[in-house]
């Protein structure tokens, strides 16, 4: 009986080690929203992150669930080649430490919607069409078409559209300004 108990203990311990050593898979995130060329869709970029600087600290957003670790979802619009933040759903910690909705004014004191995103310089990824390869992590799902907008100080300076159909086994396309 002692030998059986030792074998059983080793097997249970080994199973626990393997279980705990298994990598955790991150949750796909709720994308930002954007209106571009009159069509509302997803935005696989977080332009609000570059708004926060040492002089303008990032609030301590609270994740309302695992699909929104950043603690907010921005709604954006490209109008006359300019990027605007038109709305923001955000959560901050309440007195009990729970995620509670935060008003726009709390994140942008003294500003009214829409806010010109002149702080943002980077590339926006706007997926279009149907998903052709789902990846349960971040913004890695591949859609039929990707629109990339290169933005400098809130102004769109370049566009590129990539057709991903027939490329379901490839990674998402590289944005403008990167090697492919």
What pLDDT is stored for residue 170 in this prediction? Answer: 59
36 located within any domain? yes
19 located within any domain? no
| CA angle (127, 108, 36) in 5-degree steps | 25
pTM of the model: 0.77
84 located within any domain? yes
What pLDDT is stored for residue 134 in this prediction? Answer: 74
What pLDDT is stored for residue 24 in this prediction? Answer: 43
User: Which residue has tokens 């995130």?
Assistant: 29
15 located within any domain? no
The count of structural domains within the chain is: 1
What pLDDT is stored for residue 28 in this prediction? Answer: 76
For the beta carbon of residue 15, count every other beta carbon within 10 angstroms.
Answer: 10
2 located within any domain? no
9 located within any domain? no
Structural domain boundaries enclosing 36? 32-163
Please give the Cα distance from 115 to 45 (Å, whole number).
Answer: 17
- In this structure, the dihedral spanned by the alpha carbons of residues 11, 17, 23 and 26, taken in order and rounded to 10 degrees, is 100
pLDDT, block means (10 residues), the chain with 180 residues:
53 39 57 96 96 91 92 97 98 92 93 97 96 77 93 98 79 54
7 located within any domain? no
């Amino acid at each position: 009986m002692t030998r059986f108990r030792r074998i059983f203990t080793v097997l249970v311990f080994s199973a626990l080690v393997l279980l705990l050593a298994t990598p955790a898979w991150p949750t796909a995130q709720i994308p930002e929203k954007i209106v571009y060329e009159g069509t509302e869709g997803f935005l696989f970029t977080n332009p609000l992150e570059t708004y926060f600087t040492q002089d303008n600290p990032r609030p301590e957003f609270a994740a309302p669930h695992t699909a929104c670790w950043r603690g907010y979802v921005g709604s954006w619009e490209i109008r006359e080649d300019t990027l605007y933040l038109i709305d923001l759903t955000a959560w901050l910690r309440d007195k009990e430490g729970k995620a509670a909705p935060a008003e726009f004014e709390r994140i942008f004191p003294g500003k009214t919607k829409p806010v010109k995103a002149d702080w943002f310089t980077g590339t926006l990824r706007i997926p279009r069409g149907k998903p052709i390869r789902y990846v349960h992590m971040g913004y890695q799902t591949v859609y039929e078409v990707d629109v990339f907008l290169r933005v400098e100080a809130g102004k769109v300076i370049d566009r590129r559209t990539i057709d991903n159909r027939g490329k379901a086994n490839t990674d998402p396309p590289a944005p403008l300004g990167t090697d492919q």
